[in-house]
Structures are given as C-alpha cells and as structure tokens.
Amino acid sequence: MAQDRGGPTELAAYRLDQDRYTCDVTAKAGQGPATVTASPVPVDIDIAALRL
C-alpha cells in the first residue's frame, strides 16, 4: 500500500461541549497555520506541513 505523498488536505478539530461534539476549527492545506483551541493548550498546525 503506497502512502499519499501529498499529505492530508484538511483537518477538522472538535471539542466536547456538554453532551455533543462541535467543530472548533477546520483548516485546509494552503491556508497557512490554523490554531486549534480544542486542546488543553492552543496548538498551531500547518496542514501542508503534515506527512502521514
């Protein structure tokens, strides 16, 4: 099985809000870094830089 060399194209981060998950941020490759605040500490992620 070959990996996609282009990496991921989109990231969606969800947070638990009472009894439901809500989308905190959606980031797409090429938009630059996105700040995910659904973590204990805010994290900046550049989707284009990720490789799986």
The answer, yes or no, to whether residue 3 has pLDDT greater than 50, is no
Q: Is 49 left (phi over 0), alpha (psi -120 to 50) or beta?
A: alpha
Tell me if 24 is assigned to some domain.
yes
Domain extent for 21: 10-49
Query: How far is the C-alpha of 10 from the C-alpha of 25, rounded, in Å?
Result: 11
44/33 Cα distance (integer angstroms): 6
The pair of structure tokens assigned to 39 is 């973590």
pTM of the model: 0.63
Confirm whether 3 is domain-assigned: no
Q: Which residue has the higher pLDDT, 20 or 2?
A: 20
Q: Tell which wins on pLDDT, 8 or 41.
A: 41
pLDDT tens-digit profile of 18-42?
A: 999 999 888 888 888 889 887 788 9
Domain membership of residue 17 (yes or no) is yes
Q: How many domains does the chain have?
A: 1
Measured distance CA(25)–CA(4) in Å, rounded: 24
